[in-house]
Structure 1
Amino acid sequence: MDKRKIAVFVGSLREGSFNRQLARALERLGEDRLEFDHVDIGSLPFYNQDFDGDYPQEGIALKAQVRAADAVLFVTPEYNRSVPGVLKNAIDLASRPYGDSAFAGLPAAVIGASVGAIGTAMAQQHLRNILSYLDMAVMPQPEAYLQFKDGLVDEDGRVTRQDTREFLEDFVDRFVEWIDRQRG
């Protein structure tokens, strides 16, 4: 079977981002079935309703990248108990103007990592609400709130703890099943 193409939104711009490391680990775990297409959200203009009639090229390219995907993976940190502004901006650009959302009908999964004990639970809840409104089929289980510790993912994208690797393998397996179920 062909690999499913996944548009990957990492909600952190930081060079050593835990969530970017997590995305790389998921890519490595799913490389036999998934093709990850990382979305650059750091260079996007701020969404402004004034340009709905004359959409910026960056927004048009973002929508094309999302529409070319079979599903979307959101890997998000938690900032002030919610999603980072840069991620929300990218979602706004890809979903506007009203009636022209690139996300509508696409399967999605949400995951995130933080140094905090509750991981990214609040950010993920907010993100799930947003994605539901955008008519995305968000994978309900397993929910994945990872507490990230140094060395959890090595420089090659391998998960170093067996229990965490097994959990993430299950996450990837379930995401593939979810995509297949949603895409028919």
Structure 2
Amino acid sequence: MSKIAIVVGSLRAESFNHRVAEALTRLPAGQGHDFTFADIGSLPLYDQDDDADQADSVKALKALIADSDGVIFLTPEYNRSMPGVLKNAIDHASRPYGQSAWSGKPAGVLGVSVGAIGTALAQQHLRNVLAYLHMPTLGQPEVFLQWKDGLVTEEGTIGESSAAFLDGWLQAFLALVETHGG
């Protein structure tokens, strides 16, 4: 089965996106796959001067991505874009130039927010970056979730009204990973 890295663009302790990410790993489509959450909170701010001597936290992120068959990104939407902490992680693992850990890794993008459009604009910005990084990205189905009671149950699973849709999304993502050799 596939090794999937999960990158959540929120550091908040009660992050909606982290809760959805955890619940995704419990869906039927995810059974038998190995999901590992990337630690992006310990990364220093990206500085090109550090490319020759990357921090251990950067090396750990790059190793996780390199060892993964695919990457799921969950992004909140901050000021109509992705959070800086997520862009920082992407920049670190793409550097130095020519040594990107992301290249060729299939990607899935989703996110949740309290707003009615979910994280549509943040996802579009993220997709632009992933295209540049040469990451084949799942186009359909798109997932723009609005946080509501019951989206994630108290037991940490996806709620009944969204479970089939998100399981279908995960199936489609895992099929993309399989197509690319995962």
Assess same fold via TM > 0.5.
Answer: yes
- The count of corresponding residues between Structure 1 and Structure 2 is 181
Q: Give the structure 1 partner of residue 123 of structure 2.
A: 124
Q: For residues 45 and 90 of structure 2, what CA distance do their matches in structure 1 show?
A: 11
Query: Which is further off, 98-107 or 143-152?
Result: 143-152
> TM (normalized to structure 2)?
0.96
Deviation at 1:152, TM superposition (A): 1.6
2:25–2:31 CA contact under 8 A, matched in 1: no
Name the aligned partner's letter for residue 182 of structure 1.
H
Question: Which deviations, in whole Å up to 9, do the C-alpha atoms of 1:136-180 show, x marking residues without a partner?
Answer: 011111110001112320232212233x11110100110111111
Deviation at 1:31, TM superposition (A): 3.5
Mind listing any 5+ residue stretches in structure 2 that lack a counterpart? none
1:43-58 equivalence runs, <5 A: 43-58=42-57
1:57-136 equivalence runs, <5 A: 57-136=56-135
Deviation at 1:39, TM superposition (A): 0.4
Q: 3-state DSSP class of the match of 1:74?
A: strand
State yes or no: 1:18 paired with 2:16: yes
Q: 3-state DSSP class of the match of 1:159?
A: coil
> TM (normalized to structure 1)?
0.95
- Paired-residue identity, %: 55
Mind listing any 5+ residue stretches in structure 1 that lack a counterpart? none
The alignment yields a C-alpha RMSD, in angstroms, of 1.2
Question: Which deviations, in whole Å up to 9, do the C-alpha atoms of 1:42-99 show, x marking residues without a partner?
Answer: 1111110011122222211110111010100001100000000000000111011110
Q: Give the structure 1 partner of residue 150 of structure 2.
A: 151
In the alignment, which of 5, 18, 26 is matched to residue 7 of structure 1? 5
Name the aligned partner's letter for residue 150 of structure 1.
D
Deviation at 1:132, TM superposition (A): 0.6
2:11–2:41 CA contact under 8 A, matched in 1: yes
Q: For residues 16 and 135 of structure 1, what CA distance do their matches in structure 2 show?
A: 32
Q: For residues 160 and 91 of structure 1, what CA distance do their matches in structure 2 show?
A: 30
Deviation at 1:24, TM superposition (A): 1.1
Name the aligned partner's letter for residue 87 of structure 2.
K
